Amino acid sequence: MESSVKETTKFNNLPRWWEPQAAYVHVPFCAHHCCYCDFAVVEGRDQLADRYLDALEREIADCRPTAHTQPGSPAPVESIFIGGGTPTHLSVSQLQRLLTLLRSHFQLAPDYEFSIEANPASLDDCKIDALAQHGVNRVSLGAQAFQTHVLRILERDHDASTVRSAVERIHRRIANVSLDLIFGVPGQTLEQWAADLRQAVELNPSHLSTYGLTYEKGTRLWKDREHGKIIPLDEELERDMYALAMDELAAAGFEHYEISNFARPGFRSRHNQVYWANEAYFGFGLGAARYIRGRREVNTRDLEAYIRKALAGESAVQQSEELSPEERARETAVVQLRRAEGIDRAAYTRQTGFELDALVGPAIEKNRASGLLVDDGVRVCLSREGKFLADGVCSDLL
């Protein structure tokens, strides 16, 4: 299998991990802030959307150009991902404005991927037309579930019929549709999860993401668990749900190419593969993260502060960190281990300058002996059992 870590890009001879080949753009506005969500999201602030787009455009225009880009020239990228929040919560005119400014500031490669996250309840035909007209060729739809009571617990504002209708309408203009699903929801049964998987596959998506429900500290869901208002699902049942997803989706023709992600052949998320390879990427907007030339930065999550700073030409960065070469190398091993192909030793050395075994050899051997890793001498990857215990395996490499 060809390694996803390439030494050079089609645009220059600089290492791929050093200069961004992908751009993430965050749109924080939502009709409702769901109980489990810990992202940079705002509700009831739609009156600030136009000023937010002003600020976003200023931040993008003021960003550091890559080494191969002249100031003021579009930065070449292979993928753009608009996330949130709910980007499709914007009005049609605001959405068109956003897409226009992105196409003007970024030069997309001929075989580009241009993705946007969407909520089934806020995606009408006019918005789908706008997406297609501006070159969006992949929609990631937040279905989350098909069972009414599960959707109610997750505080989603749609039902199963809304998801089906949205997928059908997207498919008329955009072929590449991904569905997000959540398992491990309080009260959810294995049979209900199996039904969700079947219904998702029947909609013929090109990609599926399945996430175990997490209780992020500070969210309403976390508070409800702390106060005993909800009871988390049994860990063994969650494990059975994950195993069922692996088996059912493989039988349906999907490849399990990353811990939480499944794709039909040729439809892996190219944008997310940049993250999992630990390669560089741009990040713009409220709470957005970026990784450029070995430095990680995260923008403020305060909406009014972000708008004020960006419009004034000031940095909206709240956190900044430059890892040492060894820290970057260990982090690279951790994120690459999430992929089905795992860590290619030769490519890893080219990217990090470190020999994998010299750096984390004992941890690899420990987990190989425990049956959690598979090592053929060329690559190291998680075994099936290792996928259930991936967090522990990855922590051993740090």
Q: List the Cα angle 300/306/307 in 5-degree steps.
A: 170
User: In this structure, is residue 240 part of a structural domain?
Assistant: yes
- Last residue of one domain, picked from the residues 276, 307, 342: 276
CATH number of the domain to which 162 belongs: 3.80.30.20
Query: Does residue 137 contact residue 114 with C-beta atoms inside 8 Å?
Result: yes
Q: Based on the fold, state whether residues 200 and 61 are members of the same structural domain.
A: yes
User: In this structure, is residue 46 part of a structural domain?
Assistant: yes
Query: Does residue 131 contact residue 174 with C-beta atoms inside 8 Å?
Result: yes
- Last residue of one domain, picked from the residues 276, 311, 340: 276
pLDDT of residue 186: 94
Locate 356 and state its tokens.
Answer: 């994998």
With a CB cutoff of 8 Å and minimum separation 6, the contacts of 290 are: 20, 24, 281, 282, 283, 284, 296, 297, 298
Helices marked H in 203-324? 220-226, 235-251, 270-276, 303-311
Q: Identify the bridge partners of residue 178 per DSSP, sorted by sequence position.
A: 140, 207
**How far is 187 from 365, CA to CA, in rounded Å?**
39
User: In this structure, is residue 17 part of a structural domain?
Assistant: no
Q: Based on the fold, state whether residues 249 and 396 are members of the same structural domain.
A: no
CATH number of the domain to which 395 belongs: 1.10.10.920
Locate 393 and state its tokens.
Answer: 């395996």
User: In this structure, is residue 98 part of a structural domain?
Assistant: yes
Q: Based on the fold, state whether residues 28 and 94 are members of the same structural domain.
A: yes
pLDDT of residue 8: 33
Q: Based on the fold, state whether residues 371 and 269 are members of the same structural domain.
A: no
Locate 294 and state its tokens.
Answer: 């070995």
pTM of this structure: 0.92
User: In this structure, is residue 3 part of a structural domain?
Assistant: no
Closest among 42, 119, 64 to 88, alpha carbons compared: 119
Q: Based on the fold, state whether residues 259 and 358 are members of the same structural domain.
A: no
Closest among 90, 98, 89 to 136, alpha carbons compared: 98
Instruction: Work out the burial of residue 148: count CB atoms within 10 Å of its CB; fewer than 13 is exposed, 13-18 middle, 19 or more buried.
Output: exposed
Q: Based on the fold, state whether residues 126 and 199 are members of the same structural domain.
A: yes
User: In this structure, is residue 375 part of a structural domain?
Assistant: yes
Q: Based on the fold, state whether residues 265 and 344 are members of the same structural domain.
A: no
List, run by run, the mean pLDDT of 10-residue segments along the chain (398 residues): 34 64 96 90 96 97 69 84 96 98 94 96 95 98 94 92 96 97 96 97 98 92 91 95 98 98 97 95 96 92 97 96 92 96 96 95 96 97 97 92
Total structural domains within the chain: 2
User: In this structure, is residue 52 part of a structural domain?
Assistant: yes
pLDDT of residue 398: 86
Host H or E run for residue 165? helix 160-173
Query: Containing domain of residue 57, as a range?
Result: 22-276
Q: Based on the fold, state whether residues 391 and 271 are members of the same structural domain.
A: no
Instruction: Work out the burial of residue 133: count CB atoms within 10 Å of its CB; fewer than 13 is exposed, 13-18 middle, 19 or more buried.
Output: exposed
Tell me the residue ranges of DSSP E strands in the chain.
Answer: 22-27, 29-30, 42-43, 75-84, 106-118, 138-144, 176-183, 207-212, 255-258, 261-263, 282-284, 289-292, 295-299, 317-322, 343-344, 373-375, 379-382
**How far is 311 from 40, CA to CA, in rounded Å?**
19
One-letter amino acid at 24 equals Y
Q: Based on the fold, state whether residues 337 and 233 are members of the same structural domain.
A: no
Q: Based on the fold, state whether residues 361 and 248 are members of the same structural domain.
A: no
b/e burial code for range 209-228 (CB count within 10 A of at least 16 → b):
bbbbbebeeebebbebeeee
| Cβ count within 10 A of residue 391 | 9
Q: List the Cα angle 147/251/204 in 5-degree steps.
A: 55
Instruction: Work out the burial of residue 234: count CB atoms within 10 Å of its CB; fewer than 13 is exposed, 13-18 middle, 19 or more buried.
Output: exposed
- Last residue of one domain, picked from the residues 276, 295, 320: 276
User: In this structure, is residue 82 part of a structural domain?
Assistant: yes
Q: Based on the fold, state whether residues 226 and 367 are members of the same structural domain.
A: no
Locate 379 and state its tokens.
Answer: 């690559």
